[in-house]
Structure formats: C-alpha cells, structure tokens
C-alpha cells in the first residue's frame, strides 16, 4: 500500500509540473488573445472610434450589491473623447454575467455586448444570442434594444425593456447592469 501511494504521488507531481510548464508557455498567448477580443468588442461598441485607452479607476459603489465594476475604457476619435465603455459583472440566474456597455458623450447607449454568462441555454442565454429577437418585426435582439436609449432611462423590464421569454431574472440582471454602467459614465462625463 505504501508503494502504491508513493507511485501515485510521483504521477501527481509529474502531472502538476507538466501543467505548470504548459500554463507558463501559454500564459502570454492567452493574454494577447484576451486583449485582441477586448479590442474587437470595443470596436463593436464604437465603430467610429480610433483609440481605446483604459480609463480612470473610478471609485464608488453601485446601488446593486451584486454588481461589480471591472474596468473603464475611454474611446477617442481623432484625439477627442467620444464615449466610454464600462465593463461590469452581475449575478444572473446561472451565475456571473459579464458585459461591456458603451455610452457616448451625448448620454446615449451605443451598444451592449455580453462577454460571458452561465445562464440556461435556450432561456437566459438568449440575452447574448444574435438570433433571438425580442421584437421579430424589427429584428431587435435583447441587447440591441438598449442601443440609442438615453443613459438616464429607467431600464425597467416590462416597462421600457422587453424581457426575454421565461427569463425575467436574466433580463432584470442585464437591465440593472446597463443602468448602473450608464450612471457611472454620466458621473465621469459630468466631472469633465
């Protein structure tokens, strides 16, 4: 039994060392890929932007304790700031949901992009789907309905936001995230 335990410990140690080498070898590639994905997402939010810089670390808390602000990005065009993208996470039905919200200097939502989620496929996951329409006549996706709304709107589900069918928790989580991100961007723009 001692011999079997010793052999198992050797295999476990070799596996850990092997994983450590693989991780250290791919860490840079993974970081570069994540940065490229972020830049592509920022370009989706602000296609007219030509510079995306990390914004200031803004203090303050949200009125929603389940929401965490991750980062801010200032978007510029020809040297002038045209908007801000706020990356935040909130607890949704299936766990954390992370999204990027674009707000222009005219206090309008440019777009919302869900980066990651753990919600139920076919239900809450429809929030990130480009083929699920909350309004089929205009082909409006769930996140697409936020574009063009004023940052000061209420973002109330079943009032000015169309909910995802059978996914009220996810709909409310995304709406709360967008509202808080817009409020944070407005605070920044008001201080400038």
- Rg over alpha carbons for the chain, rounded to the nearest Å, is 21
Residue 111: the pLDDT is 95
Section 154-168 average pLDDT? 90
Q: Under 8 Å CB-to-CB from 100, ≥6 apart: which residues? A: 41, 42, 45, 85, 86, 87, 112, 113, 115
Residue 9, pLDDT above cutoff 90: yes
Rounded to the nearest integer, the mean pLDDT of the chain is: 91
Section 82-111 average pLDDT? 94
Residue 65: the pLDDT is 74
Residue 83: the pLDDT is 95
**How far is residue 47's CA from residue 147's CA, in Å, rounded to a whole number?**
13
Residue 152: the pLDDT is 86
C-alpha distances in angstroms, 7 versus 11, 15, 21, 92, 114?
Answer: 6, 12, 21, 44, 46
Residue 61: the pLDDT is 59
End-to-end CA distance of the chain: give it in Å, rounded: 70
**How far is residue 125's CA from residue 147's CA, in Å, rounded to a whole number?**
19
**How far is residue 176's CA from residue 170's CA, in Å, rounded to a whole number?**
10
Angle at 99 between CA 65 and CA 105, to 5 degrees: 95
**How far is residue 188's CA from residue 74's CA, in Å, rounded to a whole number?**
10
Model confidence pLDDT, tens digit, residues 32-48: 998 899 999 999 999 99
Please tell me which residue, 61 or 100, carries the higher pLDDT value.
100
Residue 62: the pLDDT is 66
**How far is residue 65's CA from residue 151's CA, in Å, rounded to a whole number?**
20
Model confidence pLDDT, tens digit, residues 119-136: 888 888 999 999 999 989
Residue 60, pLDDT above cutoff 80: no
Residue 158, pLDDT above cutoff 90: no
Residue 57, pLDDT above cutoff 80: no
DSSP code for 139 = T
pTM to 2 decimals? 0.83
**How far is residue 182's CA from residue 177's CA, in Å, rounded to a whole number?**
9
**How far is residue 111's CA from residue 115's CA, in Å, rounded to a whole number?**
13
Residue 64, pLDDT above cutoff 80: no
**How far is residue 129's CA from residue 131's CA, in Å, rounded to a whole number?**
5
């Amino acid at each position: 039994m001692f011999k079997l335990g010793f052999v198992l410990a050797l295999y476990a140690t070799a596996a850990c060392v092997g994983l450590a080498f693989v991780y250290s070898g791919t860490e840079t590639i993974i970081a570069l890929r994540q940065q490229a994905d972020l830049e592509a997402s920022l370009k989706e939010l602000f296609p007219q932007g030509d510079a995306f810089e990390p914004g200031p670390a803004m203090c303050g808390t949200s009125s929603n304790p389940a929401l965490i602000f991750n980062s801010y990005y200032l978007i510029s065009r020809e040297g002038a700031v045209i908007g801000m993208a706020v990356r935040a996470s909130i607890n949704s039905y299936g766990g954390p949901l992370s999204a990027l919200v674009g707000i222009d200097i005219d206090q309008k939502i440019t777009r919302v992009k869900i980066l990651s989620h753990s919600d139920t496929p076919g239900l809450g996951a429809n929030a990130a789907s480009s083929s699920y329409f909350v309004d089929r006549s205009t082909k409006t996706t769930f996140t697409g309905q936020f574009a063009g709304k004023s940052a000061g709107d209420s973002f109330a589900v079943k009032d000015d936001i169309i909910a995802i069918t059978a996914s009220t928790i996810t709909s409310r989580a995304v709406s709360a995230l967008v509202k808080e991100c817009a409020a944070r961007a407005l605070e920044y723009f008001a201080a400038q």
